[in-house]
Amino acid sequence: MSARILVVDDVEANVRLLEAKLTLEYYDVLTCGDGTSCLRIAQDEQPDLILLDVMMPGMDGFETCRRLKAAEETRHIPVVLVTALDGRHDRIRGLEAGADDFLSKPLDDVILMARVKSLTRLKMVMDELREREESSRRLGMDAGGVGHLKGSGGRVLVVDDNELQAEMIARELSIEHRPMIADTLADGLDAARGSVDLVIVNVSSEGFDGLRLIAQLRSKEAMRRIPILALIDTHDRPRLLKALDLGAHDILARPVDPEEMSARVRTQVKRKRYGDFLRDKLDYSLELALTDPLTGLHNRRYMTGQLQALVARAARGGDPVAVLVLDIDHFKAVNDTFGHDVGDEVLREFSVRLATNVRAVDLPCRFGGEEFVVVMPGTTLEDAHRIAERIRRDVGAAPFRISGGDVLGVTVSVGVAASLGMDDTPEALLKRADEGVYEAKAQGRDRVVARAA
């Protein structure tokens, strides 16, 4: 897996050493020597990861990281602070600045490459979501910004059979989050199926295999998006590397430092919410692409695709498909007399009555204006005619209530058609049903006309 990595260090020898190591692993490496250049290159080049030295003249690594995470164009780029400092205060300061990890010099090459691989893999997943969200935004399908996303109030699951350690972690987390504890692998998996923002796994547990739990969380569709914080003895290199390789997002060293834990948990919870936010926006955009915003029914685009597939299947000898074309009678008079707001109310109420009178397998759609279509899989002309009559009666049986407490009588004309075999097409099927609508209107409206051919 290749990626673009920006190395930032004011010492040329350090830059060249890191560049050589990363190039040998087939990474594309960018370099610079100060924080200002880092901000510019990060915005222009959009690297997949930034390895950022802390001790630099002018703007130090902490401030550079803070600015990277504050800017909309660069906040999604993972940042690893690299420094000779190894103090607890500096590590926590770096995490609170938004850093995704904090590595001390001299760098352990194996640990470095494991962190690079883990963070660039996560970045690629987030990039795909961001690209889809950006495409939706350009189409005008925007569901809001990310400014409200916080790293507190998370639902955090602690899976640990060390009772004292688990209770200490939960107690510290309860200051900002909503922790819960599981002490077995099975209980941990069951709890993770709920609404969880982060799982903390004691990889060194004696009563269960923490690595197996990480692997199972990553293998199950419903849980693979939950971030995992692996709790581990840092001298246990094989387990540490295996945890990262299996998909743990971060490492928390034992014995647990409460402030460092809080900083890492906040980072993971906020990242989880950002990912959920992008996925929700994508789902919202897809819904808008397939749904009529006024009525909530499927739109013409969705209907066309479904009808094409069903007619093609019927032409190959499959089940027949029928369509209803429905046109609200005298709808222009409603708009002209009462205004378009009342017209919209009529369309919404009509859509409710339409949707409640068709079967679960049917597809009620708004075709455009006051015209609607129902696609009916596995339905003969006779059955479709019977359902159309039921819809017509329900629409006309009770007046529509509109703004101000007034009521309005509404009727509908319906045309019905069913597939004819291998030579039929979606266009011909809709045309026959549409001709039925015209015939119904010519006969006085408020009626159903079926066109067999």
Q: Per residue in 326-354, is it b (16+ CB within 10 Å) or e — as a string?
A: bbbbebeebbeebeeebbebbbebbbebb
Domain 1-108 has CATH 3.40.50.300: no
Helix, strand, or coil here: 362?
coil
In this structure, what is the dihedral angle of CA atoms 280, 130, 272, 125, given to the nearest 10 degrees?
120
The answer, as to whether pTM is greater than 0.75, is: no
Active site annotation includes 172: no
Domain 300-451 has CATH 3.20.20.140: no
Q: How far apart are CA 62 and CA 80, in angstroms?
A: 11
Q: How far apart are CA 88 and CA 94, in angstroms?
A: 10
Q: How far apart are CA 25 and CA 365, in angstroms?
A: 53
Residue of higher predicted confidence among 237 and 323:
323
DSSP letter string, 396-417: HHSPEE-GGG-EE---EEEEEE
**Domains 149-288 and 300-451 are alike in CATH topology:** no
Q: How far apart are CA 367 and CA 374, in angstroms?
A: 9
Amino acid type, 6? L
**The pLDDT of residue 216:** 92
Apex 358 CA angle, 357 and 362, nearest 5:
165
Q: How far apart are CA 319 and CA 19, in angstroms?
A: 63
Q: What is the mean pLDDT of residues 386-406?
A: 90
Q: Per mean pLDDT, which range of 148-157, 362-371, 385-394, 431-440 is the poorest? A: 148-157
pLDDT reading at 236 higher than 60: yes
Each residue of 79-124: pLDDT tens digit? 998 877 666 777 788 888 888 887 877 887 877 887 788 788 777 7
Q: How far apart are CA 55 and CA 90, in angstroms?
A: 11
Each residue of 354-369: pLDDT tens digit? 999 998 889 999 999 9
Q: Would you say 122 and 134 are in contact if contact means Cβ atoms under 8 Å apart?
A: no
In angstroms, the Cα distances linking 445 to 330, 397, 412, 417 are 9, 15, 7, 18
Domain 149-288 has CATH 3.40.50.2300: yes
Q: Per mean pLDDT, which range of 79-88, 156-165, 195-204, 328-337 is the poorest? A: 79-88
- Cβ neighbours of 153 (radius 10 Å): 11
pLDDT reading at 277 higher than 80: no
Q: How far apart are CA 359 and CA 363, in angstroms?
A: 8
Each residue of 220-232: pLDDT tens digit? 878 888 989 999 9
- Domain spans of the chain, in order of start: 1-108, 149-288, 300-451
Catalytic: which of 19, 172, 345, 370? 370
Q: Per mean pLDDT, which range of 133-137, 259-263, 382-386 is the poorest? A: 133-137
Residue of higher predicted confidence among 147 and 13:
13
H helical segments located in 104-162: 109-138
**The pLDDT of residue 266:** 85
Residue of higher predicted confidence among 194 and 151:
194
**The pLDDT of residue 48:** 92
> Whose CA is closest to 217, among 253, 241, 193?
193
> Whose CA is closest to 97, among 135, 58, 52, 142?
52
Q: Would you say 425 and 311 are in contact if contact means Cβ atoms under 8 Å apart?
A: yes
Q: How far apart are CA 246 and CA 244, in angstroms?
A: 5
In angstroms, the Cα distances linking 156 to 194, 221, 382 are 11, 19, 57
Q: Per mean pLDDT, which range of 162-171, 282-291, 441-450 is the poorest? A: 282-291
Backbone φ and ψ for 255, nearest 5 degrees, come out as -70, 150
Tokens read off for 410: 């509404």
Q: Would you say 313 and 301 are in contact if contact means Cβ atoms under 8 Å apart?
A: no
Give the pLDDT band (50/70/90) at residue 251: confident
Each residue of 149-158: pLDDT tens digit? 566 788 999 9
Q: Per residue in 287-302, is it b (16+ CB within 10 Å) or e — as a string?
A: ebeebbeebebbbeeb
